[in-house]
Amino acid sequence: MNDFSGPECRYQRDLSRGSFVPSHCHLEFSTSFNEGVHSGPVQHYRDHRALLYTTHQDGPGCPGVDKSLRDDDLDCYRFYCPVSSDPSPSLAQYSSVSYPDYLLHQAGPCHFLSPPPGLGKHAPHPWTPEEAFLCGMPSAEMREAVASINSEGADELYKQACSRHKSAGELRQCNQLDMGQNSSHPLTVLMPPREKTGEKLAVQNGNMCQVVCDVNGGGQMVLLNHCSPSQIIHPMVLGHSVSSAEPPLYTADHPHSPEHCPLQGRGDGPVSQVPGGYTSPPYLSSFTNSNTHPSSNLISTAPGYTFNTMPGPYTSQFHQTPCAARADTVETRHSGAQTVRAWERSKKPCNCTKSQCLKLYCDCFANGEFCSNCKCINCCNNIEHESERYRAIKTCLERNPAAFRPKISNRKLGDVKNRHTKGCNCKRSGCLKNYCECYEAKIMCSSTCKCVGCRNYDGSPVRQHTAWQSPDATDIYSTGSKCPLSCITPDVVEATCGCLLAQAEEAEREGHTRPHAERLILEEFGQCLTQIVRSIFKSTGVQW
DNA sequence: GAGTTTGAAACT
DNA sequence: CAGTTTCAAACTC
């Protein structure tokens, strides 16, 4: 495994798991949120919810990602850090839950601030059930989430933290977070003085304990349950409130000011942009009710505490990668109104007439967006039809739990480039028109595809004229026929392997020498290849 | 802008 | 799971 160091910890890249794992003790996994946090998005590393959060300046490929940590296996998750100035305690909660659960079990004023990368069909990684983040969960959900934490190690951690801080005379019990009227275990947060930023603290909830990081010294907290297999994250805001309607957007003038944290979500303008360019689908806002302010797209999750429900800069599932969306996001740093305009400009309006924009036919719906400036008829993909929308989402997920996952990803083991997760099924377009989802996504067809007459493959003489032609493509298939790769399906590979194994077993049974056995296996492999190639020519009408 | 083509989604 | 229908986007004229 490859090691690399984080701000406060060391991580190991576990290639076998395609993820980063902490190589130190549990206490070391969470990074502090220093002042610099405000200038970049929070990065959440896949498979390690709550394990690693860090922020980065712009890096290659994906803005906001540090060069040293940039990796295709990473997901750029986006946090809003609601900041307020009211000294009364306010609370925002994020939780890691499954997306279907997240969609289906919302009952209160919730706002989905960190879109699953999968919501955009072309997000770099597929959505996995554990990676949604909730913000503004009602107390009941917070309670439930916290109640799910059970850790012996956390208790010890709590004791250690208490001992350390008490001995230093630093600990102060700053707040008792409201865990709901029925909560028998109010969540007590123990935190050091503000100036001691980045401290890991302990939170005791009844008999349970979680690690807490002071996000930026301004009272923003992240609650981490480091011991549970299902890490739970609860960024919280303490000692602040929303007092100004002015959107606290990140600006070049105040790149490091907490008041301009790009992660925060308050004010009257959409604050969805981050350098990473991820959108903030308004799924949860569709489940909001009493605390929602449709006119301003805000959701109040606690007194004096609001979130913005406005979808972020549109990241088309088929027209724009999150990173490519940056031009828009840069443009949107100035005001909420401008943000709306920039986003609406980039958002592609739908024209649905019969689906009420509640089926996956509708790109807005499929992208997790409300319809906005669309030309659709009888649209129900809006806040006014939240119940219908809720049912539609539920139906979609029941039919296909992966319905809202990205169609394009490179998450498959060994994949370097993106690929269509399901593959296309084109028959007449040659996969060279936008009818083809692969072509539209500017990726080549792969073995996953079931297309007929495909010309969208690396080396296709036709595809070489496309603007997104990869520079390393070579014309190795001069027939212009179906992509050979698309014929080598997993079944074909399996069958081939089976033949080779059978040949090896037969050679062993017959007592052949090793060189001879290898030769037999190679001959068998040659026959398999011959059949495959013959099949390719046959399927494309080329004479053998 | 109307009509056609296309392939994914939805349905049976 | 396969075949059919529905749907909306892409495309053509």
End-to-end C-alpha distance for chain A, whole angstroms? 47
Token pair belonging to A539 = 């399927």
Q: What is the Rg, in whole angstroms, of the alpha carbon atoms belonging to chain A?
A: 26
Question: Span A80-95, mean pLDDT?
Answer: 33
pLDDT higher than 80, residue A395: yes
The count of other CB atoms within 10 Å of the CB of residue A5 is: 11
* A203 closest CA partner among A176, A237, A231: A176
Quickly list DSSP for A248-304: ----TTSTT-GGG-TT---SSS-----TT------TGGGG--TTEETTTTEEEEETT
How many angstroms separate the CA atoms of A145 and A97, rounded?
9
Quick one: three-class SS letters along A208-237? EEEEEEECCCCCEEEEECCCCCCCCEEEEE
Quick check: is A407 in a domain?
no
Nucleotide nearest to A353 (CA to C1'): C8
Task: Kindly state whether residue A76 falls inside one of the protein's structural domains.
Answer: yes
**Which pLDDT score is estimated for A353?**
93
pLDDT computed for residue A427 by the predictor: 92
Average pLDDT of span A107-131: 33
Separation between the CA of A52 and the C1’ of C10 (whole angstroms): 43
Structure tokens at A432: 């060279």
On whether residue A280 sits in a domain, the answer given is yes
> Average of pLDDT values for A339-358?
74
The more confidently predicted of residues A240 and A356 is: A356
Domain-terminating residue out of A341, A359, A392:
A341
Q: How far is the CA of A520 from the C1' of C1 (A)?
A: 38
The CA distance from A42 to A22, in Å, is: 18
Cβ–Cβ under 8 Å, residues A360 and A314: no
Q: Which residue has the higher pLDDT, A253 or A442?
A: A442
pLDDT interval class at A532 (50, 70, 90): confident
**Residue A93 CA distance to nucleotide B7 C1' (Å):** 41
More confident residue, A489 or A448: A448
Whether A423 is covered by a domain: the verdict is no
Tokens of A87: 């000294």
Which protein residues have a C-beta closer than 7 A to any atom of strand B?
Answer: A 359-361, 366, 395-396, 399-400, 403, 407, 422, 424-429, 431, 433, 435-437
pLDDT average, residue stretch A101-121:
35
In angstroms, the CA of A399 and the C1' of C4 are apart by: 18
Q: What confidence tens digit (pLDDT) does each residue in A260-283 have?
A: 333 233 333 333 332 233 333 333
Picking from A67, A71, A76, A74, the residue whose alpha carbon sits closest to that of residue A120 is: A76
One-letter amino acid for residue A226 of the chain:
H
CA of A484 to C1' of C2 (A): 25
**What's the number of domains chain A is made of?**
2
Q: Is residue A355 part of a domain?
A: no
- The reported pLDDT for the residue numbered A523 is 86
**Tens digits of per-residue pLDDT, A192-223?**
333 333 333 333 333 333 333 333 333 333 33
A444-477: pLDDT as tens digits? 888 889 998 888 887 777 766 665 654 443 333 3
Task: Give the whole-angstrom CA distance, residue A382 versus residue A285.
Answer: 10
pLDDT in the model for residue A331 = 36
Which nucleotides on chain B have any atom < 7 A from a protein Cβ?
5-11
The integer distance in angstroms from the CA atom of A452 to the C1' atom of B9 is: 20
- Residue A262 is predicted with a pLDDT of 30
- Nearest residue by alpha-carbon distance to C1' of B6: A435
Residues A303 and A290: their CA atoms lie apart, in Å, by: 12
Which residue, of A299, A324, A341, is where some domain finishes?
A341
A365-CA/C5-C1' distance, Å: 21
Q: Protein A53 CA to nucleic acid C2 C1', in Å?
A: 47
- Among A341, A358, A387, where does a domain finish? A341
Most confident of A134-148, A228-242, A374-388, A414-428: A374-388
Does residue A439 have a pLDDT over 50? yes
Domain range for A500 is: 490-540
**For chain A, what percent of residues have pLDDT higher than 70?**
27
Q: Which residues of A197-228 are buried (b: 16+ CB within 10 A; e: fewer)?
A: bbbbbbbbbeebbbbbbbbbbbbbbbbbbbbb
A362 confidence band (pLDDT: 50, 70, 90) = very high
Residues with CB under 7 A from strand C: A 318, 350-355, 357, 359, 361-363, 433-435, 440
CA of A466 to C1' of B2 (A): 29
Q: How far apart are CA A256 and CA A260, in angstroms?
A: 7
Cα separation, A261 vs A375, whole angstroms: 35
Report residue A78: phi and psi, to 5°. -120, 130
**A436 CA → C10 C1’, Å:** 10
Residue A315 near residue A123, CB atoms below 8 Å: yes
Q: What is the pLDDT of residue A352?
A: 93
Residue A126: is its pLDDT beyond 50? no
**A413 falls in which pLDDT band (50, 70, 90)?**
low
Whether A250 and A174 have beta carbons less than 8 Å apart is answered as no
By C-alpha to C1' distance, C7 is nearest to A361
DSSP string covering A196-207, please? STT-EEEEEETT
Res A442 pLDDT > 50:
yes
Closest CA to A522 of A507, A500, A491, A501: A500
pLDDT at A426: 93
Strand C nucleotides where any atom sits below 7 Å of a protein CB: 6-11
Higher pLDDT, A505 or A489: A505
Over residues A216-263, the pLDDT tens digits come to: 333 333 333 333 333 333 333 333 333 333 222 222 233 233 333 332
Structure tokens at A95: 């939780």
Instruction: List the beta bridge partners of residue A75.
Output: A44
pLDDT value for A537: 63
Nucleotide nearest to A440 (CA to C1'): C10
Smallest CA–C1' separation from A349: which nucleotide? C9
Confidence of residue A498 (pLDDT cuts 50, 70, 90): confident
Between A227 and A441, the higher pLDDT residue: A441
pLDDT above 60 for A290: no
Cα gap A70→A9, rounded to integer Å: 16
Mean pLDDT on A73-85: 31
The maximal CA–CA distance of chain A, rounded, in angstroms, is 85
Asked if A326 and A259 touch (Cβ cutoff 8 Å), the reply is no
Average pLDDT over residues A433-452: 90
* pLDDT value at A406 more than 50: yes
Q: Are the CB atoms for A388 and A358 separated by under 8 Å?
A: yes
pLDDT for A298 beyond 60: no
Q: CA-CA distance, A267 to A273, in Å (whole number)? A: 14
Confidence of residue A359 (pLDDT cuts 50, 70, 90): very high
Nearest partner of A315 among A287, A285, A350, A273, judged by Cα: A273
Separation of A89 CA and B4 C1' (Å): 61
Q: What is the mean pLDDT of chain A?
A: 50
CB A13 within 8 A of CB A4: yes
The strand ranges marked E within A333-470 are 408-409, 419-420
Nucleotide nearest to A428 (CA to C1'): B6
Q: What per-residue confidence (pLDDT) applies to A41?
A: 29
- The answer to whether position A88 is within a domain reads yes
pLDDT at A538: 60
The closest nt to A374, taking CA to C1', is C8
Query: Is residue A93 a part of any domain in this protein?
Result: yes
pLDDT of residue A393: 92
Whether A184 maps to a domain, the answer reads yes
Ranked by mean pLDDT, the top range of A304-318, A375-389, A447-461 is A375-389
pLDDT for the residue numbered A66: 33
- Nearest 5°: CA angle at A71, between A70 and A75? 90
